[in-house]
Structure formats: C-alpha cells, structure tokens
Amino acid sequence: MTRQKREQLRLRCEHELFERVLPFWERYSPDPVHGGHFNNLDRDGTVYDTTKHIWLQARQVWMFSKLYRMVEARPAWRSIAESGMNFLINHALRPDGRVYFSLACDGRPIYQQRKIFTECFYAMALSEYGRAIDHAAHVHEAARRVEQIWDWAYDWSKVGRPALSGAAPAQMLAVPMMLLNLIDEVMVDTDCSSEINDCFKRIRLHVQGNHTFEFISLDGRQLDGPNGRLMNPGHVIEAGWFIQHIASRTQDLSMTALAQTMIRDAQAFGWDQQHGGLYYFVDAEGFSPVQLEWSMKLWWPHSEALYAHLLNYASTGDPDDLASFQKIDTYISDHFIDLEHGEWYGYCDREGRLTHRFKGGPYKGCFHVPRTLWLCWQLLGQWPESSH
C-alpha cells in the first residue's frame, strides 16, 4: 500500500466517520425530554421504539467521550456524552452495583440480564467520560467497578445465574476478551500485569490448532455437542486486536503472534466462499450451527475485521493481510453502507440481501462502526514512514 493509497484510505475513513456516521447519531439519537439516547432508529433516523438499551447508551457515551478527548473538544460531543452519562448514573445503576440491561425512555427498569457485560460497558463509559471532562472521581469509581466485575466474571451465580448440575462447566471466550478490553480502557494507571497474564492464559486455551472455540471446558478441553464445536469469527477477530493492543505495550511477542494468527484463521474459517462475507457462527466439524442466524452477515464482525486486518498489515507487511483487509472493505461497501441516509445497515442474509433496514436496534448502536473508522483513521495517520 503506497503512501498515496494510505492517505486516500484515511480521507475516506475520515469522511465516513465525521460526515456520515457520527452526524446520524448526533442528529437523531438525543432524547431532549428525559436525556440519554434513543438507539432504536430506522433507516432515516426515525425513532421506532423508545426503549433504551444500556449496552448502547454506555457505548455511545464511551464513543463520544473518546472522540472529545482524543480528536477534538467539540461542545456537541461533550453534550451528548454528558446527557448519556447522567441518564446512566440516575437510572441504570442498581444499589448492589448491577446495571439494568434496558430501561423505558424515562428511566424505569425493564430487563435485567444475568451476565456481566452491561456492567463492563457502564464502567468503560464512566472511565472515558471522567477522563474527557477531567473528573477523577468518575475514573476512580470506574476502576472500583472493574474490580467488582472481576470478582463476578467466572462465577455468574453472583449475578443471579446459577450453575445447574446437568450443565458442563465451561468458559466462554467473550469473558477474558472483555476483561482484557476493560483493563486496557479503564485500568490505565494500575499495574494489572497479573490480570493481563490471566486473560492471556485463558484465551490461549480457546485456540486449538487452526480454530478458536467460543466455549471450552475449564481446563481447556473441547466440549461435547454444538457448543463445543462453536466458533464465532467476529469474537475471535475482535479478541485478536484487543490482545495486540496490550501485547504491544507489554512486549509479549508470543501473544502478538498468536493474535495475528487468530485473526487470519478466523478470516479463513469464517469466510463464506460461495456468497462472500463472514458467517456469524461456524461449526468446527461442518454441521449446521444450531443458532438460526448462523449464516447471516452482520455489520460488527466485518467492522472488527476491517481494523484487525489493517493492524496486522501495519505490523507485518504481509500481502495476505492487505488482501483480507481489501476483501472486507469491499464487502462492507457493497452491503452495509447507506449512501443516502448515512450510517451502516446491520444485518444481511447469507446471500448478502438486507434483512433489517434499521440503523439502530437492541444490539446495534453508535459503537462498532465509529470505533472501527476511528481506529483505522488513527492507524493510517500514524503509519511509520519506514514501514510498508
């Protein structure tokens, strides 16, 4: 990739992020009555459901806070982050430290998950917003919450999900990869080397040959049944760049190499050779995954892959990494980008036909797309002159 092509790509990411994606959320998501953000937005930004999903409230606070701190101190970005953070503090947080999964538009609770991920995104939002406005109490509180989440992480009975006798004890990849991202985002001023090593050790167990399994036994063996054969290309790719960000600072070359291989292998086993695009789920032995949506093509695995392959290429100069980046970039341009209204669609069937026209839903908000575009834009702007 020549310097000229890198600059062209950076300008394209810049235009997509700052002119077409962020303005969509700035224009349509703020709730002027109750605060916070509407996240269920139709193709043209129309609010079709006023339920507020806290994963997405917190992620949007994180995104606008990050841009305010790292790119430009725009008052509009701070205002959006502030409104979302105040809504979260006033309504989403329970006295026991748990965080609701969804709320009515006025803040009344609707649903509580028995997982740890909503709490993770709340801590990320609180930390990044606190750094953006130089509010040390928020940053310290976020770190305290990470310590609480760490205590819950591998024993979900502590968050109301009992371990039943017929269920094989298992570890899911999503947990150590999420904890790694939390450490990277929140525990900036804390020595977490032992916790990082624990996450690395757990993630290594999921990598067996050319496959990275979503679920494994506690001692790293493959489980029986569909869960034991399940692979989630998007999670593997996302975990790959999470690992690289931390491994580059800790100078753990073995984990950097493993992460690069994870990303490449996920591209290989996750790519639909017939219709293109990354499958949502894959069965390692070729059976049909039991998830009915397994063959769909979702925006977020492709978003994560766009950055992960570019990161690999920046580190290695391997033309195969560049080819994978270009393959993902083409698929995104052909299937997810909406040139008329901005933002990206989220869901296509196996053949690449749009299945949902909305831009925001219960699991899609202002996060994966702008984060990827920002990371790519930043990486392209910091490309070493001596590099490929």
DSSP string, 368-384: HHHHHHHHHHHHHHT--
pLDDT digit string, tens, across residues 70-85: 999 999 999 999 999 9
Look up residue 327 and give its two tokens: 């393959």
Task: Tell me the average pLDDT of the chain.
Answer: 96
Cα atoms found within 13 Å of the Cα of residue 243, Cβ hemisphere only = 32
Q: Give the model's pLDDT for residue 388.
A: 56
- Average pLDDT (339-366) is 98
DSSP 87: H
- Average pLDDT (140-145) is 97
DSSP 68: H
Look up residue 154 and give its two tokens: 């591998």
- CA 217-206-181 angle, 5° bins: 115
Q: Please, what are the domains in the chain?
A: 1-161+361-383 (1.50.10.10), 169-335 (1.50.10.10)
pLDDT digit string, tens, across residues 25-69: 999 999 999 999 999 999 999 999 999 999 999 999 999 999 999
Phi/psi of residue 46, nearest 5 degrees: -65, 135
114, amino acid identity: R
